[in-house]
Chain A
Amino acid sequence: MIVITHNSIDIQNVIRSAESADAGALNVFIGTVRSKTGEKKVIRLEYEAYEPMAILELKKIIEVAKAKWNLKGWAISHRVGVLSVGDVAVAVAVSTAHRKESFEACQFIIDSLKQTVPIWKKEIFEGGEEWVSAHP
């Protein structure tokens, strides 16, 4: 399962989608909205995606991970729209035969997502707002 959603993420559904009878390990990463950015108090985050391309880029990441770690199951759900502190922005779940591959694959997927998938977040904090990573 690879989805970009405008609704809140159902973590149990993400986990269920990654389950496999062949797996002995299922690893989950959940990214949430932090209350502070540096010293500034976060009011909300606004996420947007180039949805069709984001899905294609996520599929490429999964293909690489499948080749490297022999994934038995996987699921990625990324939320877009307006998110508040504590909301789940992204959930990644992978299952593999043994735990080591599941930790490695899960980390690879979230790290790659942050580097290549066309999704953007704007932080609205007390006293201003900023597109994250846009400027040096």
Chain B
Amino acid sequence: MRIQLKAFGICKDILGGRELTVEFDGETVADLRKDLTQKFREIEKLNSLLIAVNEAYAENDRVLKESDVIALIPPVSGG
């Protein structure tokens, strides 16, 4: 399926944009993280990468749908 990704902070730099569409053959958040880490090796060097689905942090076993709003959340640093 084709999924829409939002990328913030350093993820925006690594993926080369704030919004992008990618082809995804897996099912879960864990699959997506693995997929992205293989495509973008810089992700491995991060302290962490959380994934938000529909504006809330998602667990690894969350199953993704094409209509989901998916966001890549590198380590936050507000304040």
CA distance A110 to B77 in the complex (A): 12
**Contact flags B15-56 to A (C-beta < 8 A → 1, else 0):** 000000000000000000000000000000111000010011
Tell me what chain B mostly uses at the interface: helix, strand, loop, or mixed: loop
Main secondary structure of the interface of A (DSSP, over half): mixed
Interface residue B10 (Cβ < 8 Å from any Cβ of A): yes
What class of interface size applies to chain B in its complex with A? 20 to 34
Query: Which A residues, 83 to 118, have Cβ-Cβ distances below 8 Å to chain B?
Result: 89-90, 110, 113-118
A90 to B52, CA, bound (A): 23
Q: A78-B78, A136-B47 are in contact. Are A48 and B71 (CB under 8 A)?
A: no
B→A interface (CB under 8 Å): 6, 8-10, 13, 45-47, 52, 55-57, 71, 73-79
